Amino acid sequence: MAESNLQELGQAEGKEQEVKDNRSSESVSALFPNYGARFPISLVKGQGSWLWDDQGNRYLDFFSGIAVTNLGHAPEKVKNKIKDQLDQLWHVSNLFQIPQQETAARLLTGLSSADLAFFCNSGAEANEAAIKLARRYHQKIKGEQRYEIITFKQSFHGRTLATLTATGQDKVKEGFLPLPEGFKTVELHDIEALKAAIGPNTAGIMLEMVQAEGGINLVQPEFLNEVAALCKEHGILLIVDEVQTGMGRTGKWFGHQHYGVEPDIFTLAKGVASGIAAGVMLAKGYLREAFSAGSHASTFGGNPIAATAIVATVEAMQEDQVPQRAAEMGEYLQSKLKEKLAGHPFVLDIRGKGLIVGIECDGPVAELVSEGQKNGLLFVTAGPNVIRLLPSLLVTHEEIDQAVDIIDGVIQRHQAKKE
């Protein structure tokens, strides 16, 4: 072997050894650092709105794994049905009948204006399926070369290449060039910009009812009505991303039901299976043939465990009228926050729908998240300056009172430090 090749080999081996040495050291994680510095808390148990760490500390959970554990942790009815299913059968290929999946599809379409469901494993996959369905409908059924999806600034639609391209935030795109073609992003609520973006290739317009990751920005009803009218006029599919706003979070089963619009396609994940990985794309019946045999698939999507978790989640929500409850508790949460925080110079706005609530502050809030944790309350941010509150949809008045008191204290101390 040539001298230079030997040298290269030696360098590579040296590097490999170095990596292994680092890995064996306790202080260096063997995980990719893509989640940044994780919070220094190891949660080991959850019940309802409460979590415990490995040191025995208890936390009030206004985070819900980012809008996932909508029925609280380990909800009894869902847990028992999953346990029964675990005893029977875990996985079966989608090449076979899966009755639990049929039931889940019937329940979800029964609660919405959709007629058909496709099951996958995450929000990004559900949105990816929606983008594919919209393109395929135009190209295969209508025979039109339409492929473009228009989305909005500050939106968030996922981390696959297509869904991060659809996302209206540059930070998720850095270093991933080249991005797939066929996406345009315009300002939310700028109807003229939207009209200008629509062209002969436009296949769909995709948006969230409350931009969650983007800062708790509520879509204005007049704007949404205009978007729906434009879609009708130009034969464009209206796609609503309900990954964070669906499953009762906003006080209705699905966020778009506040507005009286009927999307052609909408997507679910997060709360749909109470914490078991699941995503769903729901669509109007006339789109059926666009996903003809062999056009799209998922190995795990809607397997007996996930489908059972979805069925159990929906049934538990129906029994306890959870969306309606979320609407009432959301009003209580917002009124309490307004009562306590209105005078704080650091608090600029309190807004939300149901139990997705944002507190916009006059500066970064990352430090407040840590302070909340030290005081026994978990919550997350939405952009740099917004505190995002996502309690369980079964949260009680007392738990809301407790959380608001902690947030009040955290903000007061933060303000005092600044002065």
Ligand X SMILES: Cc1ncc(COP(=O)(O)O)c(C=O)c1O
Q: Is 243 annotated as belonging to a binding site?
A: yes
265 touches ligand X by CB under 6 A: no
- Closest contact distance (angstroms) between CB of 252 and ligand X is 16
Among 203, 209, 261, 269, binds ligand X (CB under 6 A): 269
Which residue number, 82 or 166, has a Cβ lying nearer to ligand X? Answer: 166
Distance CA(396)–CA(348), nearest Å, equals 26
Binders of ligand X in range 210-229 (CB under 6 A): 212-213
Q: Which residues pair with 43 in a beta bridge?
A: 53
- Closest contact distance (angstroms) between CB of 122 and ligand X is 4
69 touches ligand X by CB under 6 A: no
Among 123, 248, 255, 323, binds ligand X (CB under 6 A): 123
Instruction: Return the number of other C-beta atoms located less than 10 Å from residue 93's C-beta.
Output: 10
Q: Is 135 annotated as belonging to a binding site?
A: no
244 touches ligand X by CB under 6 A: yes
Residue nearest to ligand X (CB): 123
- Closest contact distance (angstroms) between CB of 175 and ligand X is 19
Q: Cα 256 from chain centroid?
A: 15
352 touches ligand X by CB under 6 A: no
At 142, list the tokens.
């209508």
Q: Is 93 annotated as belonging to a binding site?
A: no
122 touches ligand X by CB under 6 A: yes
325 touches ligand X by CB under 6 A: no
Cα–Cα nearest to 39, from 24, 57, 20, 23: 57
Q: Is 222 annotated as belonging to a binding site?
A: no
Which residue number, 326 or 410, has a Cβ lying nearer to ligand X? Answer: 326
Binders of ligand X in range 145-204 (CB under 6 A): 156-158
- Closest contact distance (angstroms) between CB of 3 and ligand X is 49
Distance CA(136)–CA(124), nearest Å, equals 18
- Closest contact distance (angstroms) between CB of 168 and ligand X is 11
Which residue number, 49 or 151, has a Cβ lying nearer to ligand X? Answer: 151
208 touches ligand X by CB under 6 A: yes
Beta carbons of 238 and 203 less than 8 angstroms apart: no
371 touches ligand X by CB under 6 A: no
How many residues at the interface with ligand X, by CB under 6 A? 15
124 touches ligand X by CB under 6 A: yes
Q: Is 293 annotated as belonging to a binding site?
A: no
- Closest contact distance (angstroms) between CB of 358 and ligand X is 13
Among 164, 243, 265, 389, binds ligand X (CB under 6 A): 243
Q: Is 159 annotated as belonging to a binding site?
A: yes
64 touches ligand X by CB under 6 A: no
Q: Is 123 annotated as belonging to a binding site?
A: yes
Cα–Cα nearest to 113, from 217, 253, 228, 216: 253
Beta carbons of 266 and 246 less than 8 angstroms apart: yes
| Interacting residues with ligand X (CB under 6 A) | 66, 122-124, 127, 156-158, 208, 212-213, 241, 243-244, 269
Residues annotated in the binding site for N(2)-acetyl-L-ornithine, as ranges? Answer: 159, 298
